[in-house]
A and B are shown apart, each in its own frame.
Chain A
Amino acid sequence: MKKSSLGAWIAVVIAALYFLMPLVGAAEFSLRMIRGIYSFEAYKVVFSTVFEDTFLFSSVIALLTIAVSVLIVVPTVYFVQLRLRRLRPIVEFITLLPLVIPAIVLVFGYIRLYNSSSWLPLTGSVMATNILLLFAYVALALPYMYRAIDSGMRTVDVRTLTEAAESLGASLPTVIFHIILPNVRSAVLSGAFLTFAIVLGEFTMANLLNRPVFGVYLVDANEHSPYEAAALSLIAFLITWACMGLMQYFGRDRRAAKPGT
């Protein structure tokens, strides 16, 4: 039975070469800002410019996206599992839409639907556009958030928990946010970190809505300093890595209980 591991090693090594090549390339390039020697100059410049503002902006949007997603998705999954089973196919169809409709098409629709002369001029002011971007990101994160929370809630006995809590006199919001939510915390967190990573790397929507997110800043940075852009790319990669590591860590206990097929 040992023979199969040779092929597996070859596959992994080839994959490692392919996946490490651009990363090593970017890392090496980012160190070449000062001609002739390797230095961390690009990183110094990055941290002394508006990087922090744009990164902060993206992070705040990401956290708000997570909060809004949780507020929308948790009650939906809860009620669909508990009382509105018949809505499940519709809800699942809707949550898959963002995977089918390209982001650029969605944002095009937003621009037309919520332009400054429409009934709800969400592109009319900076604040309103930020809110529009926030909801756009909620839409992007929806498939992942919904799946994470849905499979998390399947592993806890929602009905029994609800009945137990109600028999002790808990109100419905208490049940959802104080009983159910803590029980699916790891699922919510793993969805949250994925959302964070998606928002941090997003470019298309923010670019068309003219919001100064990290991804847009990166393209601008490239125009005046490719070294800074390479450094930023690497930083983005490390942050994504941190998010995924945290997601794996929090998602782990859920994997032990396999959902039935």
Chain B
Amino acid sequence: MTAIAAAATVAKPARRLSSTTLALIGVTPFFVFALMFLIFPTIILVFGAFVDQSGNPTLNNIYKIFQNPTLVDAYVVSLKVSLITAVGGAILGLALAQAIVLGNLPRWMRPAVSTFCGVASNFAGVPLAFAFIASIGPRGLLTLWLSDYLGISLRALGFSVISFWGVVLAYLFFEIPLMVLIIAPALDGLKREWREAATTLGATSLDYWRHIGLPVLWPSLVGSTVLLFANSFGAIATAYALAGPGFNIITIQLNNQIRGDVLHDQNLGYAIALGMIVITGVSNGLYIWLRERGERWTR
């Protein structure tokens, strides 16, 4: 028996070593994949942003962005679209999620709405753009219906589906459902007992949301808004198909740059990409910082 115990103690370190080696072999494909298709491609862009065509270090590429009013404008429009659709999508999505999670609606409602949200949040891009053109475009169903029956002309109101607000309206089609999908589990995390305990202590519905509901949801709300922001910021297909390659947002600019349609300055392209990574990176950093500050009360 002592011999067996001794053998076991001897065997153990050797065995653990081999199983750790095995584990490392098992995760190797993941890390190779991550390096090849996530990290190196990003590094080469970031690196390229700081060198000139012949490989000498320079800040000129970044300087060129600020010199180019079209590019600056593209960043600004992208930021505006992303901010508006992120915040708007977050608020409207929260309202819809709240309705299906806490609104005392019939039971079948929730799975139906969440399935639909799964569909709609993935229904971005080209098909979505067509659907919007077919409904509120110049010859769209709703446009015609409004002018035929109610005498309202969308064009006279200054609305065009291929404008800034048309793009915002289309982006909301996938941003709101995405918000519903992310925030619904967080709403489930609000325990019924918290509301009931608050109520027995004399709280109104408003008191409850102000002191408990919103503070508890806050980290999830900020996190989802940041995700929505990145989602809008990186989107291209919807705007491209809706408003065409001339719509001035940064993704379309980068696309044109890659296609070589406009300037054919590789390193300027790297700098544009760097700017996008910086913006989404900063927004995520902001989220982490806010969460650290706001979540003193969680583990």
Do any beta carbons of A and B sit within 8 angstroms of each other in the complex? yes
Q: Count chain A CB atoms within 10 A of each CB in B39, B234, B259 and give the residue with the most.
A: B234
Let me know if B241 is at the binding interface, CB within 8 A: yes
A240 with B122: CB separation less than 8 A? yes
Starting from the known contacts A241-B115, A247-B118, 6 additional A-B residue pairs (CB-CB under 8 Å) come to A18-B173, A25-B134, A76-B27, A135-B37, A218-B130, A233-B130
Q: Flag the segment in B1-9, B67-75, B104-112, B149-157 that touches A.
A: B104-112
Question: 12 pairs across A/B with beta carbons < 8 Å?
Answer: A22-B173, A23-B131, A72-B33, A76-B30, A104-B234, A109-B45, A111-B258, A112-B48, A194-B122, A198-B122, A204-B236, A236-B123
Shortest Cβ gap from A18 to chain B (Å): 8
| C-alpha gap A39/B126 in the complex (Å) | 23
Q: Contact: A219 with B126, CB < 8 Å? A: yes
Question: Given the complex of chains A and B, what is the CA–CA distance between A214 and B296 in angstroms?
Answer: 48
Q: What residue in chain A is nearest B140 (Cβ atoms)?
A: A25
- B218 to chain A minimum Cβ distance, whole angstroms, is 15
Residue of B nearest to A239 (CB): B119
CB distance from B20 to the nearest CB of A (A): 6
Q: Does B83 contact A (CB under 8 A)?
A: no
Beyond A104-B236, A244-B115, whether A22 also contacts B128 by CB under 8 A is: yes
Q: State the Cβ distance, B142 to closest chain A Cβ, in Å.
A: 6
Shortest Cβ gap from A161 to chain B (Å) = 15
Q: A113 — which chain B residues lie within 8 A by C-beta?
A: 40-41, 44
Contacts A19-B120, A25-B136, A236-B127 known; A8 to B34 CB distance under 8 Å?
no
- Interchain CA distance A221-B2 in the complex, whole Å: 78
B38 touches A28 (CB 8 A): no
Given A2-B104, A11-B96, residue A208 in contact with residue B258 (CB < 8 A): yes
Binds B, one of A49-57, A59-67, A82-90: A82-90
A172 at the interface (CB under 8 A from B): yes
User: Interface readout for A218-261 with B: 1 if CB under 8 Å, 0 if not?
Assistant: 11001000100110111011001100110110000000000001
Complex interface: chain B residues within 8 A of A240 (CB): 119, 122-123
B122 touches A12 (CB 8 A): no
CA gap between A136 and B36 in the complex, in Å: 10
CA distance A104 to B125 in the complex (A): 13
Contacts from A to B (Cβ < 8 Å): 1-2, 4-5, 7-9, 11-12, 15, 18-19, 21-26, 28-30, 71-73, 75-76, 78-80, 82-84, 87, 91, 94, 97-113, 135-136, 138-139, 172, 176, 194, 197-198, 201-204, 207-208, 215, 218-219, 222, 226, 229-230, 232-234, 236-237, 240-241, 244-245, 247-248, 261
Tell me if B160 counts as interface (CB < 8 A to partner A). no
**B192 vs chain A, min Cβ distance (A):** 11
Q: Would you call B176 and A15 a contact (CB within 8 A)?
A: yes
On chain B, the residues within 8 Å of A234 by CB distance are 127, 131
A135 touches B33 (CB 8 A): yes
Q: Of all chain A residues, which has the CB nearest B284?
A: A100
Q: Which residue on chain A has the smallest CB distance to residue B283?
A: A100
Which B173-187 residues have C-beta < 8 A from chain A?
173, 176-177
Task: Give min CB distance, A231 to chain B, whole Å.
Answer: 10
Q: How far is the CA of A94 from the CA of B122 in the complex (A)?
A: 22
CA distance A143 to B259 in the complex (A): 28
* Secondary structure dominating the interface of B: helix
Q: Are B111 and A248 within 8 A (Cβ)?
A: yes
Known: A22-B173, A75-B26. A100 touches B280 (CB 8 A): yes
Interface of A is mostly: helix
Which range holds the interface residue count of chain B? Answer: 35 or more
A84 and B111 within 8 A (CB): no
B30 & A230 in contact (Cβ 8 Å cutoff): no
Do A105 and B241 touch (CB < 8 A)? no
In the bound assembly, the distance between CA atoms of A258 and B92 in angstroms comes to: 26
Contacts of A247 in B (CB 8 A): 118
Taking a contact as CB atoms closer than 8 A, the residue among A8, A194, A202, A232 that contacts B103 in the complex is A8
B109 touches A12 (CB 8 A): yes
How far is A121 from B251 in the complex, measured between Cα atoms in Å? 25
Cβ of B141 and Cβ of A25 under 8 Å apart? yes
CB distance from A167 to the nearest CB of B (A): 13
B41 partner residues in chain A, CB cutoff 8 A: 106, 108-110, 112-113
- Contact indicator A108/B189 (Cβ below 8 Å): no
B110 to chain A, nearest CB (A): 10
A105 to B26 CA separation, bound complex (whole angstroms): 29
Interface centre among A18, A26, A97 (most CB of B within 10 A): A26
- Which residue from chain B places its CB closest to the CB of A122 in the assembled complex? B36
B86 within 8 A of A: no
Contact A204 B38 (CB under 8 A): no
CB distance from A68 to the nearest CB of B (A): 9
**Is there a chain A Cβ closer than 8 Å to B230's Cβ?**
yes
Check A197/B122 contact, CB under 8 A, given A5-B104, A12-B100. yes
- Asked if B23 is at the interface of the complex by the 8 Å CB criterion, the answer is yes
Which listed residue, B23, B42, B234, B237, touches A203 by the CB 8 Å rule?
B237
- Contact check, A105 vs B237: say whether CB atoms are below 8 A apart: no
Which of A22, A136, A237, A245 has most chain B Cβ within 10 Å?
Answer: A22
CB closest chain-B residue, reference A172: B22
